[in-house]
Amino acid sequence: MLKITLAAAVLAAIAGLTHPAASQSSLGAKVAHFTLANGLELVVIPDHRAPIVTHMIWYKVGAADEQPGKSGLAHFLEHLMFKGTQKYPAGYFSQMIARMGGRENAFTSSDYTAYYQRVLREELPKMMELEANRMTGLVLTDNVVLPERDVVIEEYNSRVANNPRARLAEQIAAALYLNHPYGRPVIGWRPEIEKLNREDALAFYRRFYGPNNAIVVVAGDVEPEQVRALAQNTYGSVVRRFENIPRLRPQEPQPAAARSLTLSDPRVEQPTLQRGYLVPSVTSAKRGDSEALEVLANILGGGANSRLYRTLVVEKGLAVSAGSSYDGATLDPTVFSVYGAPKDGTSLPQLEEGVNAVIAELIDKGIGAEELERTKTRLIAESVYAMDSQSTLARWYGGALSTGMTVESVNTWPERIRSVTADAVRDAARQWLDKRRSVTGYLIKDTSAREEKRS
């Protein structure tokens, strides 16, 4: 069964769970960061609690780097990277990992494409060798490309077509970004996915997959010097095949008009309001803005104590749920999301009015010392909880470095959150939660037309 819907994926990402954060400085102090002669960056996060390692490679390429007309290509290539090389044919890598009982997977965002394995420490050299081999050695034939394209279309059906909320999220992003490719779904627009082919995938692969466009993160029972030596022996021999080109995507103009849209779908049984505001990410922000937005998202709509939930769900009884979230880990300006589901008897415009009032009050009166402290405590604790998981840490560092941040910025995240003031949160709300920067989407039940059978 597919457990993860697109909506969940979007929420997960937007909720800042991939945000750059780090534990106490003692942890950051242990993190090593170096670059091989061929341009490959490495991050090593020693963690000796168990003889396990997590090995990840992050390519600095995602859906926002695709050419117009080829949407979905970054993600399609991610699927195809499991189809084997001349040296290690299809299935060899995955079966080797399976035999060890290891875990592997891959994921694609607008900014990066990443692959990982979790195995026993002893298996790390083999993982590095195989990952280095498929960095430039991928072999594709239509025999494997075409069925995989069908798999991706079924993935699209599972995540998006079968799920009205995911369809709404797609529409909001597309309307929010007037010029920047973040408006394009990572999985692609279906008519374009259907046309992707072997040549597209290989051209994209040759253009973006190479040592000077990748970051390897190794977390676990290893020392930096060991990893450096292993990397030299494996990744070190992969030759550069292109020069780095700055990641300059078309940027957004100054937003000028609040936009709104309504998606009606016969399957909607619970109407929903979603709003996205165009706001800075960590990398695209002036110093301090992103941290203030992170705290703001949590005070406004992060959980049961948040302003939106307390006001709209608990006190006024207008909504069954309400919240907000922010994902700062993107290269270019990102989305601050606000959402709610009205109770029976509340219309979407009434709920929207309620949401607006909560935001207006925060801008007008600012926030209290207690809610600020509570929120910061919880956010900073996340970075201590993360110390418990090499996978989480590997994702934070990899996600940060592939979206223009530095190891240092991950390490100092808790103290930057600590230094956010009540005034900064209010200012962030005033500056960024401006309706002209936003798209508001309604998801409603389509009752107008008789259902038509698909042919």
Partner 1 sequence: MMALARNSARGVLAAFLLAFAGLCAAALPARAVSIERVISPLGIEVWLVRQATVPIFDLQFAFEGGSSQDPAGKPGIGKLAGLLLDEGAGDLDSKTFQERLEGSAIDLQFQTGRDATTGSLRSLNEHRDEAVELLRLALNAPRFDPPAVERIRGQLLSGLRRETTSPNDIASRKWWAAAFPGHPYGQQVNGTLESVPLITADDLRSYAKHVFARSNLKIAIVGDIDAATAGKIVDRVFGALPAQAELRPVPKADPQGLGQRIVVDLDVPQAVVTFGRVGISRKDPDFMAAYIVSYILGGGSMSSRLYSEVREKRGLAYSISDNLVWLKGTAVTLGGTATRSDKTSEALALIESETKRLAENGPTEDEFNKAKSYLKGAYALGLDTSNKIAGALVQIQIDDLGIDYMDKRNALIDAVTLEDTKRVAKRLFEGKMLVTVVGRPLGVTSRN
Query: Considering the complex, what minimum distance in angstroms separates the CB of residue 228 from partner 1?
Result: 24
Residues 6+ apart with CB under 8 A from 232: 36
Minimum separation from the CB atom of position 35 to partner 1 (A): 25
Give the span between the Cα atoms of 30 and 22, in whole angstroms. 12
Binder to partner 1 among 32, 38, 88, 94 (CB under 8 A)?
Answer: 94
- Cα of first residue to Cα of last residue in the chain, in angstroms, is 26
218 contact partners, CB below 8 Å, separation of at least 6: 42, 43, 44, 45, 53, 54, 55, 56, 124, 227, 394
Token couple for 20 = 């750059």
Place of tokens 């010029």: 179
Q: Which positions from 106 through 125 interact with partner 1, judged by CB under 8 A?
A: 106-111, 116, 118-120
Q: Which residues from 178-217 bind partner 1, rule CB under 8 A?
A: 182, 185-187
Q: Is position 78 annotated as part of the catalytic site?
A: yes
Cβ atoms 293, 361 nearer than 8 A: no
Q: Binding segment for partner 1 among 31-39, 191-199, 231-239, 310-318 (CB under 8 A)?
A: 310-318
Site for partner 1 (CB under 8 A): which residue of 67, 95, 251, 419? 95
Give the DSSP letter of residue 138. Answer: B
**Among residue numbers 140 through 179, which ones bind partner 1 (CB under 8 A)?**
146-155, 157-159, 161-163
Rule CB under 8 A: is residue 327 a binding residue for partner 1? yes
With binding defined as CB under 8 A, does residue 390 bind partner 1?
yes
Interface pick for partner 1 out of 215, 263, 296, 313 (rule CB under 8 A):
313
Q: Which stretch binds partner 1 (CB under 8 A): 224-232, 239-247, 254-262, 368-376?
A: 368-376
Instruction: Give the burial string for 103-115 (b: 16+ CB within 10 Å, else e).
Output: ebebebbbbbbbb
Closest distance to partner 1 from the beta carbon of 324 (Å): 16
CA pair distance 182, 192, nearest whole angstrom: 16
Task: Indicate the DSSP class of residue 242.
Answer: S
Which residues between 233 and 292 bind partner 1 (CB under 8 A)?
266-270
List binders of partner 1 among 14-43 (CB under 8 A): 17-18
Contacts of 300 (CB under 8 A, 6+ apart): 306, 307, 308, 324, 338, 358, 359, 362, 429
Contact set for partner 1, span 398-417 (CB under 8 A): none
- Tokens, residue 386: 């993360």
Which is nearer to partner 1, 155 or 434 (by Cβ)?
155
Place of tokens 């909504």: 319
* Catalytic option among 41, 66, 78, 170: 78
# binding residues, partner 1 (CB under 8 A): 106
For partner 1, the binding residue among 274, 284, 324, 375 (CB under 8 A) is 375
CB-nearer residue toward partner 1: 212 or 336: 336
52 contributes a contact to partner 1 by CB under 8 A: yes
Q: Report the nearest approach of partner 1 to the CB of residue 165 (Å).
A: 9
- Residues acting as catalytic residues: 78
